[in-house]
Every structure is written in structure tokens, then in C-alpha cells.
Amino acid sequence: MKIMKELINELLEICRDTHPNEFFAFLTGNRGVIKEYIYIPFKQGRDFVSIDTSLLPLGMKIYGTVHSHPSHSPNPSPQDLSTFSSFGRVHIIVYYPYCKECWRAFDSSGNAIFIDVV
């Protein structure tokens, strides 16, 4: 799996802008490259996000999710693992202070994985 460098940079900026609240979006793309995020309205707080998945576009290929942790922790919570198992196979956690290296990728079971940045 690969992800566009411009997308990672945009996601880092969005997470900085929404701090101290969490940010959440779905990831999509084509041919094994994550190229876009799908933002749908959600309720947010310092330690939670609540989404209405009925707002997802029909027929959209969801590769996974991205969300922020307003803390210094890149580790998935039990709630994160539940979300991971429901949506796609690649999940990115962006964490404070949202620097260029402040993100980690996980599979649907919560195991750390490597994603090429292209």
C-alpha cells in the first residue's frame, strides 16, 4: 500500500487545525495508492469521534480510516480497534504535535504496518 505525500501533509495540517479535538475521515484511492480522504460530518471531542456511516457515498471503495490523537500516543485504543475491524485494511493515526513523522499506520487488527509515501 502507498499514500500520496501531499495527502499526508494535508492530513497533518488538518489535525493541527482541529487540535485539541479529534479529526476523523475515511481513506480512498485506486490501484493500491491512497489519494484522498472522505470527510463526513461527525461529533467530536478531546477523546472521541462519533460518525454516521450512512452518509458515506454509495459504491465508494474505502481503503481505511485516518484520525488524530490529541495526545502524544500513536497507539490504537480499544475503540480504534473496533473501528479498524469495520472499515478497510489501512488505518492511520496522526498524533500530537502533528509533525512530519507524527503518524503511524495499522492493519485492521491493530498491528503496525509500513506504507510507502509517494
pLDDT at 61: 84
Condensed to tens digits (0 to 9), the pLDDT of residues 66-115 reads 999 999 999 999 989 988 988 889 999 999 999 999 999 999 999 999 99
Q: How far is CA 84 from the centre of its chain?
A: 10
Condensed to tens digits (0 to 9), the pLDDT of residues 20-77 reads 988 899 999 999 999 999 888 666 555 656 676 666 666 678 899 999 999 999 999 9
Contact 8, 105 (CB under 8 A): no
Q: How far apart are CA 23 and CA 31, in angstroms?
A: 26
pLDDT at 7: 98
Contact 64, 106 (CB under 8 A): no
The ranges assigned to domains in the chain are 2-117
pTM for this predicted structure: 0.88
Which triple of cell numbers denotes residue 93? 493515526
pLDDT at 55: 65
Q: Which CATH superfamily is domain 2-117 in?
A: Cytidine Deaminase, domain 2 (3.40.140.10)
Burial 29-50 (b: 16+ CB within 10 A, else e): beeeebbbbeeeebebeeeebe
Grid cell 509517494 — which residue?
118
pLDDT at 83: 87
